[in-house]
């Protein structure tokens, strides 16, 4: 009698037990290899397709963020905006995103991950149309605010959805695609924004939203959200669809349900619960990584790249923004490949080191210009420093905090904790984007030296506090964090009693 195959879906492996020694062994092994390859391809297809649909939201995110850099001079000229008015236009995106972040966890918990993505797409479409039809600062800002709200929700729900549908051997790489598509979206805005008018560029922002809304009709909801919502039948159908129709999902389904059942006996999560010992470590890690991600200055440098290059002495900022676009994409692709090979911690520390170097070079270029020293080197140092900065940010500091955010919170607090983390991220983004022009007017070298200090602090924090999550299921990560907290509490008790 043949013993059925045992499939370890999370590892992407299929292990077969063979009985019946009278059968030709070599033929049986070959047949099993063919079955294994076809089943893996089938299961991966739906995960990859679902990820592709979800990261259309990430592309939209990047399009919104990258919109202001190539359009700054033309919008100010056409609508007669002052520097303060354009700074408001650039930064009001982050104010909308903060509101979206506050509501993102609640929306995704209430309507599902797909429902949250639909909501985001509708807000972004409304915002882009308002920008296109604007003839004054007011409607321009309203449109920018709506797109900000949409990407505030996207920034939470896309990495969470991808993490919840992916097997653990692909989760890091697939979640990093979120950042890759953000980078591609902003790079496309940089490139085509240098060639077309700002109104036409606004219309291009509609395309990813339309693709997303159409694609959502064909992909499954997050199985973990369905299980949490008590929709047992739909949970199994969605998980089976993601893993392939012939794959045995019994073990994975039982692990997910056991984890959720263990969490359901706890009281409903409240915001004050996040400071309890049970969740405090995850919250500190998630919040701190987002603070460091923003206060290394990425949104200031990204939003106003063209003006920064002009201030450094380039005749035109467009060449610099095109160079940024060309650097971002291949480096982010490299980060996508490395995250499940090198791990989260090494990648983010190497990235922070590169950011530190880029900030020091750029700050030094402005210092030399202010002192009228080595003026012929100033543009090269500024462009080189910014490109090193962008490359370093793209490989680690950009994607890794979002990956870790999607992994470290248990599902019963993921909504409220994720909203807090994303709110902190967008609050930092607003602070940096709004103050960047004023800081540069006050002290250009000091601005970049300040950002370099945050990069150095990131390295220390990650080395001391951030766990490695590579190669673990979401349930294993939660179990590991609980064990660490339990050991710490036991150690504190032992020290208290003098043991």
The mean per-residue pLDDT over the stretch 319-329 comes to 73
Rg (CA), the chain: 24
- pLDDT bin (cut points 50, 70, 90) of residue 493 is low
Predicted local confidence at residue 320, as pLDDT: 65
Whether the per-residue pLDDT at 362 is higher than 50: the answer is yes
Instruction: Give residues with Cβ within 8 angstroms of 372, minimum separation 6.
Output: none
The mean per-residue pLDDT over the stretch 215-240 comes to 88
- pLDDT bin (cut points 50, 70, 90) of residue 179 is confident
Instruction: Give residues with Cβ within 8 angstroms of 108, minimum separation 6.
Output: 115, 116, 153, 156, 157, 160, 225, 415
Sign of torsion, CA 446 450 452 453? positive
Whether the per-residue pLDDT at 120 is higher than 90: the answer is yes
The mean per-residue pLDDT over the stretch 109-122 comes to 93
Q: Are 365 and 385 in contact (CB under 8 A)?
A: yes
Helix (H, G, I), strand (E, B) or coil at 202: helix
Predicted local confidence at residue 24, as pLDDT: 45
The label of the residue with tokens 């395309």 reads: 207
Give the pair of three-digit tokens for residue 25.
């062994």
Predicted local confidence at residue 2, as pLDDT: 44
Report DSSP letters for 11-50, one per residue: TTEEE-----TTS-HHHHHHHHHHHHHHHHHHHHHHHHHH
Instruction: Give residues with Cβ within 8 angstroms of 240, minimum separation 6.
Output: 247, 249
| 226 compared with 426, residue with greater pLDDT | 226
Burial (0-12, 13-18, 19+ Cβ within 10 Å), 311: middle
Whether the per-residue pLDDT at 106 is higher than 60: the answer is yes
The per-residue pLDDT of the chain, averaged, comes to 79
Predicted local confidence at residue 124, as pLDDT: 95
Q: How far apart are CA 312 and CA 294, in angstroms?
A: 23
Give the pair of three-digit tokens for residue 314.
């380039």
Q: How far apart are CA 397 and CA 290, in angstroms?
A: 9
The mean per-residue pLDDT over the stretch 42-70 comes to 86
Q: How far apart are CA 318 and CA 27, in angstroms?
A: 62
Instruction: Tell which phi-psi region holds residue 20, choosing left (phi > 0), alpha (psi between -120 and 50) or beta.
Output: left
- pLDDT bin (cut points 50, 70, 90) of residue 190 is confident
Q: How far apart are CA 392 and CA 205, in angstroms?
A: 27
Q: Please give the DSSP secondary-structure letter assigned to residue 409.
A: S
| Pick from 362, 70, 337, 295: nearest CA to 179 | 337
- pLDDT bin (cut points 50, 70, 90) of residue 86 is confident
């Amino acid at each position: 009698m043949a013993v059925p195959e045992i499939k370890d879906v999370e590892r992407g492996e299929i292990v077969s037990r063979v009985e019946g020694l009278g059968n030709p062994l070599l033929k049986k092994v070959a047949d099993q290899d063919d079955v294994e390859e076809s089943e893996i391809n089938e299961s991966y297809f739906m995960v990859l397709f679902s990820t592709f649909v979800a990261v259309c939201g990430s592309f939209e995110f990047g399009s919104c963020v990258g919109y202001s850099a190539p359009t700054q001079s033309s919008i100010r000229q056409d609508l007669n905006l002052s520097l303060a008015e354009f700074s408001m236009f650039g930064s009001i995106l982050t104010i909308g995103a903060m509101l979206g972040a506050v509501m993102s966890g609640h929306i995704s918990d209430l309507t599902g991950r797909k429902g949250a993505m639909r909501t985001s797409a509708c807000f972004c479409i409304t915002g882009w149309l308002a920008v296109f039809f604007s003839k004054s600062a007011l409607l321009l800002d309203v449109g920018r605010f709506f797109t900000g709200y949409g990407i505030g929700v996207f920034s939470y729900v896309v990495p969470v959805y991808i993490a919840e549908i992916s097997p653990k051997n692909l989760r890091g790489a697939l979640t990093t695609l979120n950042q890759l598509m953000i980078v591609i979206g902003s790079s496309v805005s940089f490139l085509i924004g240098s060639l077309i008018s700002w109104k036409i560029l606004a219309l291009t922002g509609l395309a990813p939203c339309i693709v997303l809304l159409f694609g959502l009709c064909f992909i499954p909801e997050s199985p973990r959200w369905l299980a949490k919502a008590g929709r047992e039948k739909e949970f199994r159908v969605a998980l089976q669809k993601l893993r392939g129709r012939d794959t045995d999902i019994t073990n994975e389904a039982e692990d997910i349900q056991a984890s959720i059942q263990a969490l359901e006996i706890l009281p409903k999560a409240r915001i004050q619960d996040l400071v309890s010992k049970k969740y405090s470590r995850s919250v500190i890690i998630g919040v701190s990584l987002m603070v460091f991600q923003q206060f290394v200055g990425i949104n200031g440098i990204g939003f106003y790249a063209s003006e920064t290059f002009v201030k450094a002495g380039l005749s035109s900022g467009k060449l610099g923004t095109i160079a940024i676009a060309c650097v971002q994409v291949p480096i982010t692709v490299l980060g996508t490949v490395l995250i499940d090979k090198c791990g989260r911690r090494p990648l983010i520390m190497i990235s922070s080191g590169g950011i530190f170097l880029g900030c020091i070079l750029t700050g030094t270029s402005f210092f030399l210009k202010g002192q009228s020293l080595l003026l012929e080197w100033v543009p090269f140092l500024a462009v080189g420093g910014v490109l090193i900065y962008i490359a370093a940010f793209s490989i680690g500091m950009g994607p890794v905090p979002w990956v870790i955010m999607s992994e470290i919170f248990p599902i019963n607090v993921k909504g409220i904790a994720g909203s807090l983390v994303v709110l902190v991220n967008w609050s930092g983004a607003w602070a940096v984007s709004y103050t960047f022009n004023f800081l540069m007017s006050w002290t250009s070298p000091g601005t970049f030296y300040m950002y370099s200090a945050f990069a150095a602090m990131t390295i220390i924090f990650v080395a001391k506090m951030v766990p490695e999550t590579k190669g673990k299921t979401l349930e294993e990560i939660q179990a590991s964090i609980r064990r660490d907290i339990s050991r710490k509490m036991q150690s504190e008790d032992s020290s208290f009693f003098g043991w």
